Structure 1
Amino acid sequence: LKLASVLFPDWAYKPAWSPGSRQVQLWHFLLELLGRGEGGAIGWGGEWGEFVIRDPERLARLWGERKGKPHMNYDKLSRALRYYYNKRILHKTKGKRFTYKFNFSKLILVNYPGHPVTSTGSKQSLTQCRFTTGNCVFIWCVV
């Protein structure tokens, strides 16, 4: 699958600091960094939903600053990432170091279980999937 376009919902982008921001989940934080182009620490990979941790210690430092945990390191951060494997929110990409892949459909269903996710298209054509919440539409297209 290839990513044609993607628009993340408002809840995926949180400001660098906000009341209660210590409660932000790691996947929110990763989407925030990916969305604003924090290329030094993390960036999108070659496949749809795939991201690469380019500087693991820098990413861990940023996460520690955000959570107010100055002793954060990559070992602790990667443990948090592995927690998402069982929830099927993301998984490690085999054979690629520091590379993970989001399961956006599961991410939406986990966080908005009552909202429908629809898709259009056939196996031979472009498929557009859409998820709407409030005034935000989450759209991804795969070919």
Structure 2
Amino acid sequence: MQCSCSSSVGHLTAPYWSRTVLFPDWAYKPAWSPGSRQVQLWHFLLELLGRGEGGAIGWGGEWGEFVIRDPERLARLWGERKGKPHMNYDKLSRALRYYYNKRILHKTKGKRFTYKFNFSKLILVNYPGYPLPPGHQVIIFTSHTTT
């Protein structure tokens, strides 16, 4: 698999990143999402990408970017996983948009059914204490109140 990673990402090695695909090793942990007994949609997508579910979803051109190749099939798979037989792409895409505000992922402009993960945010929020990949910084803002 050829990598078209941007130069800003830098050289990433294990244990941070899998050698076969472009996402963190921690994403391989099946059906586990911190703080929840149910799998989260972002984690389900990473599982499918890791298994090479090429018919419904696949990695895109940029680092962290993925393309939904068959929206209805993806929605059906998600519905099966969640036990919701009436799941469709409209409902699934609403769940994806929920992640925009959390900055877990965003829509890639000008590309239909294409999204991009913010892996630094996923690591920070869902895996506190997990080391960030080299070259990534975290800026924490705190508010100070005076009485």
TM-score by length of 2: 0.68
Cα distance in 1 for residues equivalent to 2:116 and 2:34: 29
Cα distance in 2 for residues equivalent to 1:17 and 1:107: 14
Instruction: Flag the 1:97–1:19 CA change in 2: closer, same or farther, 3 A.
Output: closer
Flag the structure with higher strand content: 1
Cα distance in 2 for residues equivalent to 1:17 and 1:108: 14
Q: State the secondary structure of the residue aligned to 1:109.
A: helix
CA contact (8 A) 1:16 1:66 kept: no
CA shift for structure 1 position 27: 0.6
Q: State the secondary structure of the residue aligned to 1:38.
A: coil
Q: Any stretches of 5+ residues in structure 2 without a counterpart? A: 1-19, 133-145
CA contact (8 A) 1:22 1:66 kept: no
CA contact (8 A) 1:21 1:66 kept: no
2:66 to 47, 51, 59: 51
Deviations 1:69-108 (A, max 9, x none): 0000000000000111011010000000000000000000
Cα distance in 2 for residues equivalent to 1:103 and 1:58: 24
CA shift for structure 1 position 113: 2.5
1:96 aligns with 2:111: yes
CA contact (8 A) 2:57 2:70 kept: yes
Instruction: Flag the 1:86–1:20 CA change in 2: closer, same or farther, 3 A.
Output: closer
Q: If you compute each CA radius of gyration, which structure gives the higher value, 1 or 2?
A: 2
CA contact (8 A) 2:31 2:43 kept: no
Q: State the secondary structure of the residue aligned to 1:46.
A: coil
Cα distance in 2 for residues equivalent to 1:19 and 1:51: 23
CA contact (8 A) 2:33 2:40 kept: no
User: Identity over aligned residues, as a percent?
Assistant: 96
CA shift for structure 1 position 21: 9.7
Instruction: Flag the 1:10–1:35 CA change in 2: closer, same or farther, 3 A.
Output: same
Instruction: Flag the 1:61–1:54 CA change in 2: closer, same or farther, 3 A.
Output: same
CA shift for structure 1 position 112: 1.7
Which residue pairs with 2:46 in the alignment? 31
Q: Any stretches of 5+ residues in structure 1 without a counterpart? A: 118-141
Instruction: Flag the 1:58–1:6 CA change in 2: closer, same or farther, 3 A.
Output: closer
CA contact (8 A) 2:32 2:39 kept: no
CA shift for structure 1 position 12: 2.1
Higher-RCO chain (CA-CA 8 Å, sequence separation at least 6): 1
CA shift for structure 1 position 15: 4.6
1:12 to 15, 18, 27: 27
